[in-house]
Amino acid sequence: MSKLSNCLRMLILLKSRGRMKIKELAEILEVSERTIREYKNELEKARIYLLSEPGKNGGYYLDKNSFIFNLDLEEAEISSFLMAKELLEKEDNFMFLKEYERGLDKIKAALERRYDDSESQHIIKVSRPNIDLENEKKKYVDISSSIISRNKLKINYFSINSGLAERIIRPYALFMYKGFWYCIGYCELRGEIRDFKLSRIKSYELLKDTFDKPIDFKLSDYLGYNSIFKDKLYNIKLKIKFPMSIIVSERIWSENQKIIFNQEDNSILFEAIMTGLPEIKTWILSMGSHVEILEPEELKEEIKDEVKKLKDLYKI
């Protein structure tokens, strides 16, 4: 970044975060501590004076009356930005976190009251995608550019079913599912529209060849009700026992789901139209003996087969 850009960023950081050490500023702006001192001198030439305090807890800071903007934000709006930052940090898979933080610093710089991120609610993270975020971010940006410019992509893609293969694809859209980004588009190798997980694209090249996107293409036509798997529709009917009944009832698993509570034993009758047999099976198996499949018969047989494999595996 230019000297002017970094000087402005330093002002925004000091206004939003309060007192900061030279070392902290240097790390964020990716310059040397000597350069930070030069920025201070440049600002003073423009009659913007940074105050300093020596000692362990010292550093540069701005006078509370200097460099003030007014965005007229409500308390709830400010809290929503801070909570969003907490969510994005805990997800560990948001590729544009640095850019978001820079934007948030600009917002916080315009506020008279200083907001400490530590005041926001704490969120416990469970699992996260095992990916290189910077690499994933570059893929996302490049593929987004390809979608806009209508340029074909040559990719080396690893498929669980067929292994590593070179493909020419016509990218139509990007979407996120369970923390991972996917590209959906026409695969010239398979001759049909398919989705490609960005983390499984091992290398790619933007081609000069262009393509026409179908006028009637809709992303929703290629995704299932509750999954990315657009396969057969299953009319699911389950009896789920307590306490799993409470856990299941606390989430929306499918937009068309119906839940009926049995007050006598606290069980529930769960009904929904769902797609994606592999994920349906995984979900049902995760509930163990707390769930009984009432319908369809085909799903019962699938689960029986999985249970038999488990029994054979553990020699039961």
Selected from 2.30.30, 2.40.30, 1.10.1760, 2.20.28, the CATH number assigned to the domain covering 133-222 reads 2.30.30
For 161, residues 6+ apart whose C-beta sits below 8 A from its C-beta are: none
263-284 burial code (b ≥16 CB/10 A, e <16): eeeebbebbbebbbbebbeebb
Going residue by residue through the chain (316 aa), what tens digit of pLDDT does each one get?
Answer: 677 778 878 887 887 677 888 888 888 888 898 898 888 888 888 777 788 888 777 788 877 655 545 556 666 666 677 767 776 766 656 777 777 777 777 676 666 555 555 554 555 656 677 888 888 889 988 998 899 889 999 999 999 888 999 999 999 999 888 888 899 999 999 999 999 999 999 999 999 999 999 999 988 888 765 566 667 889 999 999 999 999 999 999 988 999 999 999 999 999 999 988 888 999 999 999 999 999 999 999 999 999 999 999 998 8
109-138 burial code (b ≥16 CB/10 A, e <16): bbbeeebeeeebeeeeeeeebebebeebbe
The DSSP 8-state label assigned to residue 224 in this structure reads -
Q: Locate the domains of the chain by residue range.
A: 3-61, 75-119, 133-222, 234-313
Distance, CA of 49 to CA of 39 (rounded, Å): 11
Per-residue pLDDT, 75: 63
Q: Which fold has domain 3-61?
A: Arc Repressor Mutant, subunit A (1.10.10)
What is the reported pTM?
Answer: 0.63
Per-residue pLDDT, 304: 95
Three-state DSSP class for residue 48:
coil
Per-residue pLDDT, 180: 87
